[in-house]
Structure 1
Amino acid sequence: MTNPLVQLKSATKQFIDGKETHSVLNAVDFSLSNAESVALTGASGSGKSTLLNIMAGFEPLTDGTLLLNGENTKTWRDPEWSLFRHQQLGVIFQQFNLLTPLNVAQNISFPLSLNKQQWDSWCDHLVEKLGIDALLDRHVASLSGGQQQRVAIARALAHKPSLLLADEPTGNLDQQAGLEVMQLLTEIASDGDCAIALVTHSLECAEFMQKRLHLGNGRLHESH
């Protein structure tokens, strides 16, 4: 039996604010298998983005265990985390976080350069499917929000990661554009055998995922 791609065991996360201690995650158990997709819903401030940040190693757990590909990350330092992020992780941020001095092609190629990879037929497939193949020479600052979001998706998936973390990827788009982007995102992730953990407030966007979990009072509950 293969290990889950991501596994959290009794994951607890607390923040200290002056003399107050706030618990965001209370002994949460969570697992995500290869090529599986899950939507994480919940009220603002419930800890959804924190959960993604923990999976990416951007924030440490207060207590509990994070396993990636069956490996306990407790002993990982910067080199191990960098290797994982460069090779296996794609991230789509709500604010796009594109590199504005660069054009579209250079933005998409950025994760490839970290892995000493070249633009290939997969990248051609990505930009064609996302409808941005005619924009490769454009500077990203000149693009619309919807176009920038598509570039961000292409960049996150260019190096064929095994795990994609998407934090409100349609939050800056109108509903129709958001649903189009979700359709493309799930199709492309499926083409690349990529698992998705999606944070969203939109029930319509959550419907694109295979599983839906709701985070409330520090606990994860399956939602239908």
Structure 2
Amino acid sequence: MLKPLVALSHANKLFVDGNETHGVLNNIDFSLLPNTSIALTGASGSGKSTLLNIIAGFEPLTSGKLLLDGHDTALWKDPQWSHFRHQQLGVVFQQFNLLTPLNVKQNIAFPLNLNQQSWNSWCDHLVGTLDIGKLLERHVSSLSGGQQQRVAIARALAHQPKLLLADEPTGNLDQQAGLEVMKLLTEIASQGNTAIILVTHSLECADFMQARCHLQNGHFISTP
């Protein structure tokens, strides 16, 4: 039986605001198998980004259990989380979050450097597929939004992570550019055997994923 790459069970996340406590995730059960993809949809403030932050280790669970590739994260400290993020996780942000002191090639190579790896044929494939080969020496601040997002995708997938978290990756792009980016993102992730959890408000973007779950009132509602 195939082991889930991500498994949340009885997961709860509470935020305290003064004397008030707000429940964002309420007794969530969620799993993702390797090399599969799922879209998380829901209204703003429904907890979609919070869920990604929990899986990435940026936010702790209030209660419940998170298993990553079969490992219980309850006792993980900074070294274990850093190892997971460097080797097994890629992240694509809505705001691109590129490293502005670096050029395009240096941005893409950044996760490789963290893993003591060198530029390789997979990087060449990413650059060619994303059509950014002529931009490698360019400063990232000189690029258009669509170009920056393609660079961000290449950076997130350069080390061939097992898991990609994408938080509204087309939110700052027009519709046509957004759909082109989603097509490339899903194709390349599949080639690299990378699973995807996508947060999006766009049903068109969600349709690129193999499954979709909707967050409402702190609970998942499965959708076809």
Give your verdict on TM over 0.5: yes
1:180 aligns with 2:169: no
TM-score (norm 2): 0.99
Q: Which runs of 5+ in 2 are unaligned?
A: none
Structure 1 distance, partners of 2:81, 2:135, is: 33
Match of 1:29 in 2: 29
What aligned pairs does 1:106-185 form with structure 2 within 5 A after superposition?
A: 106-185=106-185
Structure 1 distance, partners of 2:154, 2:188, is: 9
Provide the aligned C-alpha RMSD in A: 0.5
Match of 1:217 in 2: 217
Match of 1:201 in 2: 201
Match of 1:4 in 2: 4
Structure 2 distance, partners of 1:156, 1:221, is: 29
Structure 2 distance, partners of 1:66, 1:106, is: 33
The alpha-carbon deviation at position 2 of structure 1 amounts to: 3.1
Structure 1 distance, partners of 2:57, 2:76, is: 9
Match of 1:77 in 2: 77
Structure 1 distance, partners of 2:119, 2:47, is: 36
The alpha-carbon deviation at position 180 of structure 1 amounts to: 0.2
Provide, for residues 7-61 of structure 1, a one-character-per-residue CA deviation record: whole Å limited to 9, x for no partner: 0000100000000100000000000000010000000000000000000000000
What aligned pairs does 1:44-83 form with structure 2 within 5 A after superposition?
A: 44-83=44-83
Match of 2:17 in 1: 17
The alpha-carbon deviation at position 221 of structure 1 amounts to: 1.1
TM-score (norm 1): 0.99
Q: Among all aligned residue pairs of Structure 1 and Structure 2, give the percentage whose two residues are the same amino acid.
A: 74
Q: Which runs of 5+ in 1 are unaligned?
A: none
Structure 1 distance, partners of 2:177, 2:169, is: 11
Provide, for residues 63-121 of structure 1, a one-character-per-residue CA deviation record: whole Å limited to 9, x for no partner: 00000011100000000000000000000011110000100000000000000000000
Structure 2 distance, partners of 1:223, 1:144, is: 35
